[in-house]
Amino acid sequence: MGVLVFARWPQLHVAPWRGRCARESGARPVGNSAAGLTLLEVLFALALLSVGLLAVALAFPAGVAGVEQGKQQTTAIFLADQRLEQIKATDFSNITAANFPAEGINTIANHPRFRRTVTITNSPGGVANTVRVDVSVFYRPVVSFGVLTAERQVTVSTLIADR
């Protein structure tokens, strides 16, 4: 009995653009999984990523300021509505400016940066047994660089009639 021995011939990669074997030309085979990124490609990717992150970082403070502004305006509307509900719960004959004086800064509980005023107009437009109530709430907006000196105002109005 004889022994069979199989010899394996080395694979040759053909470089068709040159017409000869890759082993002869010294070229790398196409699709080699060991190939990586060049330094230029890495630097370009980092530059592109940096531009994107910079855009997000620049937009972030504007978003935070918008949320804070919305919070302050919502609080002002809440305080105006709260005062209107107090006035509506009062007997019609007691709805006078003397019974609802202006409240200054640091006088509204839990809201030290707000102040509010009440304006009551009797018989608006000549309508008897009716009052117009305007509640104005003032505040100085808090922004990322401090408190603005210009006040903002929210006014809520309603008509109340004697039943």
Classify the phi-psi angles of 149: left when phi > 0, otherwise alpha if psi is within -120 to 50, otherwise beta: alpha
Please determine, for residue 75, whether its predicted confidence score (pLDDT) is greater than 70. yes
**Which residues, 6 or more positions from 79, have their beta carbon under 8 angstroms from its beta carbon?**
108, 111, 114, 116, 137
Q: Is residue 73 part of a domain?
A: yes
Q: Is residue 11 part of a domain?
A: no
Q: Is residue 22 part of a domain?
A: no
Mean pLDDT of 31-48: 82
pTM: 0.66
Number of structural domains in the chain: 1
Give the span between the Cα atoms of 61 and 55, in whole angstroms: 11
89-120 pLDDT, tens digit per residue, is 999 999 999 999 999 999 999 999 999 999 99
Q: Is residue 21 part of a domain?
A: no
Kindly state the tokens that stand for 109.
Answer: 């509980």
Nearest to 132 by CA among 142, 145, 116, 118: 118
The residue written with tokens 């918008």 in the block is: 66
Q: Is residue 2 part of a domain?
A: no
Q: Is residue 128 part of a domain?
A: yes
124-155 pLDDT, tens digit per residue, is 989 899 999 999 999 988 776 766 778 899 99
- Alpha helical stretches, state H, 89-135: none
**Which residues, 6 or more positions from 157, have their beta carbon under 8 angstroms from its beta carbon?**
132, 133, 134, 135
Domain boundaries, position 134? 39-161
Q: Is residue 65 part of a domain?
A: yes
Q: Is residue 17 part of a domain?
A: no
